[in-house]
């Protein structure tokens, strides 16, 4: 697509952190933006996310693809300025915790291998023995004999991020609408003309020069955007514990992950149930997460459970997100980020803005072009 100039009209489907971030970046760059969310802002994957800013941990512990890891490391560097701009416009606090993270491993060899892999990818990492672990986080369980220290990583509360983005967009007079479903893409001679939006029982055409589909798994749009068929749900269950009296100062991983929140809660996550599309909470899964948390930090055995929740992450069949043009000319996807939606939001917004306004694809985003999926969607 050729670059769009003179304050282009951009319509966005999806009001999670990816869609909101794209709207924010595009509006700041001069586009006239309208955003439509079928439920509540941040009510799907974003509202259930942990908010970890941890590209190195995702790469070395969870096996993130190399292209995803590089993209997420870049996004990590964008977060401080991105958050500062959101705070300035919204008037809301969006604190980022840069306290680093620890991965507890079974052996010294595993810790050394993880640290080396993180450094090879451009991150900072140090393999630790038990003494080193306890120096960075007191109160770890007896099984914590080896681990990895990742000093560059942190976390953000996704609830605060969504709230601040919504406030910033409203401050810029961007049209953002909840409970509005995008039902289709309208075209003329093979090019985008409008999005068809249903809201308050009425359907209208929203004329636009470009559209961003950031609404995750969206069957109504798969006919126009075939790469969306590559998406599938990955259910995640989490719980929050009362952290009173538990001195947890940073993210700790090992069988589960523990995230200390500024309000005193400790979040414990998360299951990864590929293909599960329901939001049902299962006692067995929550018990497993809690047992893992108590092994990491035994003091949590006495912590009261505050709540539990589930969410559906949008995964893809090749483990890469969908960022770029798909379907009719003028339509772009920003979807399929799986576990990295919060982390990758600034870089995704940067890439989508460059694609629409400059007609350029940033190098780090090139592997995520939806065109790669044509063979997969025929399977």
What local confidence, expressed as pLDDT, does residue 217 receive? Answer: 84
Query: Cα separations (Å) of 225 from 20, 153, 324, 372?
Result: 20, 35, 11, 13
In which element (H, E) is residue 357 found? Answer: helix 341-358
Distance between CA atoms of 34 and 210, rounded to whole angstroms?
11
Residue 163 is given by DSSP the state: H
Helix, coil or strand: residue 82? helix
| Encoded tokens for 356 | 């629409």
CA dist 352 → 78, 196, 260 (Å): 15, 21, 32
Q: Convert the pLDDT of each residue in 304-326 to its tens digit.
A: 999 999 999 999 999 999 999 99
Take residue 3 and report the two structure tokens written for it: 């670059």
Residue-wise pLDDT tens digits, 248-270: 999 999 999 999 999 999 999 99
φ, ψ at 307 (rounded to 5°): -170, 170
- Note the pLDDT tens digit of each residue in 263-301: 999 999 999 999 898 999 999 999 999 999 999 999 999
- Kindly write down the DSSP assignment for every residue of 1-64, as one continuous string: -PPP-SS-EEEEE--SHHHHHHHHHHHHTT-EEEEE-SSSTT-SHHHH---EE-HHHHHHHH--
Query: Tokens for 374?
Result: 């044509």
Residues contacting 215, CB < 8 A, separation 6+: 13, 14, 16, 19, 37, 38, 182, 221, 335
Pairing of strands 257-260, 265-269: antiparallel
What burial class does residue 66 get, using C-beta atoms within 10 Å of its C-beta: 0-12 exposed, 13-18 middle, 19+ buried? exposed
Predicted confidence band at 378 (pLDDT cuts at 50, 70, 90)?
Answer: very low
pLDDT for the residue 377: 52
Two tokens, residue 34: 């309208």
Kindly report the backbone phi and psi dihedral angles of residue 331, in degrees, each rounded to the nearest multiple of 5, phi listed first: -105, 135
Cα angle for residues 365, 366, 372 (degrees, 5° grid): 120
What confidence tens digit (pLDDT) does each residue in 113-147 have?
999 999 999 999 999 999 999 999 999 999 999 99
> How would residue 375 be classed by pLDDT, with cut points 50, 70 and 90?
low
**Does 379 have pLDDT greater than 70?**
no
Q: What is the 3-state secondary structure (H, E, C) of 259-310?
A: EECCCCEEEEECCCEECCCCCCCCHHHHHHHHHHHHHHCHHHHHCCEEEEEE
Q: What is the pLDDT of residues 218-229, one digit of tens each?
A: 888 998 999 999
Cα(62)–Cα(231) distance, integer angstroms: 19
Q: How far apart are CA 314 and CA 324, in angstroms?
A: 16
Return the pLDDT at 220: 85
């Amino acid at each position: 697509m050729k670059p769009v100039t003179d304050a282009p009209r951009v319509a966005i489907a999806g009001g999670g952190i990816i869609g909101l971030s794209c709207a924010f970046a595009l509006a700041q760059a001069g586009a006239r933006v309208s955003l439509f969310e079928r439920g509540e802002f941040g009510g799907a994957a974003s509202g259930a996310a942990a908010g970890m800013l941890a590209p190195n941990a995702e790469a070395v512990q969870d096996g993130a693809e190399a292209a995803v890891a590089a993209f997420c490391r870049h996004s990590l560097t964008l977060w401080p300025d991105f958050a500062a701009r959101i705070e300035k416009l919204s008037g809301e606090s969006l604190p980022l915790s840069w306290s680093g993270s620890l991965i507890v491993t079974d052996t010294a060899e595993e810790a050394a291998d993880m640290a080396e892999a993180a450094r090879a990818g451009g991150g900072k990492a140090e393999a630790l023995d038990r003494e080193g672990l306890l120096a960075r986080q007191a109160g770890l369980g007896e099984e914590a004999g080896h681990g990895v220290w990742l000093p560059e990583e942190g976390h953000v509360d996704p609830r605060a991020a969504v709230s601040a983005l919504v406030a910033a967009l409203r401050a810029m007079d961007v049209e953002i609408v909840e409970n509005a479903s995008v039902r289709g893409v309208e075209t003329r001679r093979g090019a985008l003309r409008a999005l068809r939006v249903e809201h308050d029982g009425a359907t209208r055409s929203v004329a636009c020069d470009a559209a961003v589909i950031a609404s995750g798994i969206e069957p109504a749009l798969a006919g126009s955007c075939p790469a969306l068929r590559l998406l599938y749900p990955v259910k995640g269950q989490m719980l929050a514990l009362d952290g009173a009296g538990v001195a947890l100062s940073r993210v700790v991983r090992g069988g589960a992950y523990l995230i200390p929140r500024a309000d005193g809660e400790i979040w414990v996550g998360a299951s990864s149930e590929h293909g599960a599309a329901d939001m049902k909470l299962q006692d067995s899964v929550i018990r497993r997460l809690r047992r893992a948390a108590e092994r990491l930090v035994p003091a949590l055995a006495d912590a009261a459970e505050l709540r539990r929740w589930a969410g559906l992450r949008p995964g893809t069949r090749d483990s890469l997100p969908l960022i770029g043009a798909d379907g009719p000319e003028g339509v772009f996807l920003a979807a399929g980020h799986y576990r990295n939606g919060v982390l990758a939001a600034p870089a995704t917004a940067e890439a989508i803005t460059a694609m629409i306004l400059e007609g350029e694809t940033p190098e780090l985003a090139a592997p995520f072009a939806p065109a790669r999926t044509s063979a997969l969607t025929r399977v």
